[in-house]
Structure 1
Amino acid sequence: MAGGGYVLRRAGEKDIQGLVSLLAVLFALEEDFAIDPEKQARGLRMLLSRYDAVILCVEAFGRVVAMCSAQCLVSTAEGGLSALVEDLVVEEAHRGRGFGAMLLAAVETWARGLGASRLQLLADKTNRNALAFYSRMGWAETRMVCRRKS
């Protein structure tokens, strides 16, 4: 998907540094996570190597400005695959352009293509903007303090 100098695509090894920078933006908002570029790069490489995981990104004029990662796991409750959305972040200067919604929709399409019957994510309970965004996107709060979309 492209338009206005922006491209939604699957991330690759060449994007690691840009993705690490985006994770630093995200983890600065989340008290539960520490910014550690080496660890984040290692985790991203692990996701890139798996067939049941994906990292999608939005590139603007040759630079990654937004990302969303997800991976599948077996859900005994569903009796099948569930996709865990791990990271969704858009650089502040590029927010309000629909990139978050595009990335979530693309991750959902990817997960459904693998047979996932549910998507779920965790969000920092103090990140009101993110929680409001997920609600607008149709994600429901659970009693397990996570968000999911069936």
Structure 2
Amino acid sequence: MSPSEHDIYEEHVLDHYEDPYHRGALDHPTHCDEGNNPLCGDVVHIDLRLTPDGKIEQAWFDGDGCVISQASASMLVEKMEGKTLDEVKAFSADEMLELFGPKLTPNRQKCCLLSWRVLQSAVHSPVEHGDDDGPQFGGPSLSEES
């Protein structure tokens, strides 16, 4: 292993990979999204529960892939809990790379930024709950009308 490869697997990176923060599915998320990196096969799914005033009450991730993609997802959901939507939207790709820590090659940066991309789209992707207590309408759905 070259010295630069060794740096990628710093202790805090391995800690997040081996003992991830909030890995699994979140019960009753309000927002979620999933993305993948087709070049290497990494997959990240993020579930969020937002408060009515737009703060991330809970953030969970799940997925499959390399140490970098999975550790960075753990780091990101831990950092984003308690943040407002404006803070999440303002959190840049460069800040994500800085949060991860070790310097990455451009191809490995894609692994690190996968969870950041998924989070940025998840805040715009509300979960549809089919059996909640909201109003129920008896007519056909738009997809059934054609």
Instruction: Return the structure number with greater relative CO, CA threshold 8 A, min gap 6.
Output: 2
Rg: which structure is higher? 2
- The TM-score with structure 2 as length reference comes to 0.31
- Greater strand fraction, Structure 1 or Structure 2: 1
